Amino acid sequence: MMNYQETLSYLYHTLPMFQQKGQAAYHPGLENSIALESHLGNPYKKFHAVHVGGTNGKGSCSHTLAAILQSAGYKVGLYTSPHLLDFRERIRVNGEMMDQQFMIDFIEREKSFFEPLTPSFFEVTTALAFSYFAHMKIDVAVVEVGLGGRLDCTNVISPDLGIITNISKDHTKILGDTLAEIAAEKAGIIKENTPIIIGEANKETRPVFMRKAEEMHAPIVFAEESSMLMNITPCKEGGYEYTAISPFAPGAERTLIQDNPYLSQQVPYPITIQFHGELGGYCQPRNTETLLHALSALFQQGYQFDENHLKEGFAHVTELTHLHGRWERINISAPCPVYCDTGHNTGGMEYISQQLKNQECEQLHIVIGMVNDKDIKGVLAMLPQNAIYYFTQPSVERALAAEEIQQLGREAGLNGEKYPNVPEAVKAARMHAGANDFIFVGGSSFIVADILASLQGPK
């Protein structure tokens, strides 16, 4: 019988893992997933689900939705990727990571079946997640798409609602070179007669989503085109204060009737709600808009929650679900604030770079590293040139070498030294920073994972 560490080693080193190997670990198609799920008794049929796809914002939306459902008393499974520190972050029930022993027993019991299929790491992980959710008798799972949508192994589920946050260029070797091609892959999660919420769309992607929705007879809502957010105020301490049309009415259009003696008829006006969003980052208002429409769609399907649950979920998402790495302040000894963010492609970096450029400080220090299958030049071109850079590399096989990103950075007008690993780069930034400066750590989920792991110390 394997212990937990041996089971992890088996998963990481026996099965091809995209987190480490990239495209070589990607298995397109649902054949293995269907075989695994059938063998396990199709556990995904034992709970409700919401399916969340898109290029950026999937994690924030998934965790916030899970937090709101938890606040309403539902027993909620949350399946996301990648993890930052512990594999079991990917599979949670009401915010708590999967039980170690369940994972050990599952791999020990089922590996004789799945090994002949030569499945990917993510295929086995998804089967494990759905089995655990069924074992825990959850009410609803919030399931984040791994990569793409149409051929992603999470796409075996039949959800109550689909969400596609946005489309930008990422994993182009797998999903396609144009936004329309990528959108077609993401649109693969649109199911027959199942509502779909599109967070952001443009002239290239909107027709793709419309065609797929019409084909599947799926009610479709473009969140940007029917905005529910009425006011957005950034908070000095982080996050946002929002005023919005309440989603807890059919179509989010229910009205109160105001009696006015000066009018010959009653005047309708929208029910509004004010709430605090804990998550900072310039991208979060877009995610919030998407979630308001998602909540409205679920409410119309009979999900039982109200404004208090919405407020609790938005205000306490990190406490309820243990989300990390979204414009998060790092608890580290430094003369100035240190923040990190997992944004890692041009779509995500568009928001981060703008936030960095607007940061009030005397000197900006940026610790950055990336993996080698991203649009490195596109990301670097967005970053502020007046910052001091600390080029480094994450501790994964896909890492772009520190000297390479330093060279690409210089070509983009970004100047700084290179460092062999993330802790060394952050240490240098802390040494050079003054009390009125600002340190940012990012470029990849794995950069964030490395700094958070270094703060935990040796295991």
pLDDT tens per residue across span 358-387:
999 999 999 999 998 878 999 999 999 999
Residue 324 maps to a domain: no
Q: What percent of the chain has pLDDT over 90?
A: 78
Average pLDDT, integer, range 252-258: 38
What is the reported pLDDT for 266?
44
As for how many domains the chain has, the answer is 2
Name the average pLDDT for the chain.
90
Among the three residues 199, 225, 256, which one is the final residue of a domain in this structure?
A: 199
Question: Where does the pLDDT of residue 262 fall: very low under 50, low under 70, confident under 90, or very high at 90 and above?
Answer: very low
Residue 168 maps to a domain: yes
- pLDDT over threshold 70, residue 258: no
Instruction: Map residue 232 onto helix, strand or coil.
Output: strand
What is the reported pLDDT for 18?
36
Helix 307-315 with 58-71: angle, nearest 10 deg: 130
pLDDT tens per residue across span 280-331:
999 999 999 999 999 999 999 999 999 999 999 999 999 999 999 999 999 8
- pTM higher than 0.85, yes or no? yes
Among the three residues 144, 172, 199, which one is the final residue of a domain in this structure?
A: 199
**CATH code of the domain covering residue 406:** 3.90.190.20
Q: Strand 229-234's sheet: what is its strand order? A: 229-234, 240-245, 272-277
Is residue 190 a contact partner of residue 162, using CB atoms and an 8 Å limit? Answer: yes
Is residue 395 a contact partner of residue 450, using CB atoms and an 8 Å limit? Answer: yes
DSSP-assigned beta bridge partners for residue 391 = 368, 418
**CATH code of the domain covering residue 88:** 3.40.1190.10
Average pLDDT, integer, range 449-458: 85
Average pLDDT, integer, range 42-48: 98
| Alpha-carbon span 202 to 221, nearest angstrom | 14
Residue 251 maps to a domain: no
Residue 272 maps to a domain: no
Question: Where does the pLDDT of residue 250 fall: very low under 50, low under 70, confident under 90, or very high at 90 and above?
Answer: low
What is the reported pLDDT for 253?
40
Is residue 365 a contact partner of residue 334, using CB atoms and an 8 Å limit? Answer: no
Instruction: State the DSSP string of 292-361.
Output: HHHHHHHHHTT----HHHHHHHHHTHHHHH----SSEEP----SS-EEEE---SHHHHHHHHHHHHT--S
Hey, CA dihedral for 273, 296, 279, 205, is it positive or negative?
negative
Which range among 166-170, 261-265, 299-303 shows the weakest confidence by mean pLDDT?
261-265
What is the reported pLDDT for 169?
59
Q: Which residue has the higher pLDDT, 176 or 125?
A: 125
- pLDDT over threshold 80, residue 249: no
Token representation of residue 354: 């703008």
- pLDDT over threshold 50, residue 197: yes
- pLDDT over threshold 70, residue 23: no
pLDDT tens per residue across span 100-142:
999 999 999 999 999 999 888 999 999 999 999 999 999 999 9
Average pLDDT, integer, range 188-193: 96
- Report which residue type is found at 269: Y
Average pLDDT, integer, range 46-61: 95
**What's the CA angle centered on 346, arms 344 and 349, to 5 degrees?**
60
- Report which residue type is found at 247: P
Burial class for 440, CB neighbours closer than 10 Å (0-12, 13-18, 19+): buried
Residue 99 maps to a domain: yes
What is the reported pLDDT for 175?
62
- Report which residue type is found at 303: Y
Among the three residues 162, 179, 199, which one is the final residue of a domain in this structure?
A: 199
Residue 162 maps to a domain: yes
DSSP classification of residue 209: H
> Containing domain of residue 373, as a range?
330-456
Q: Which residue has the higher pLDDT, 230 or 269?
A: 230
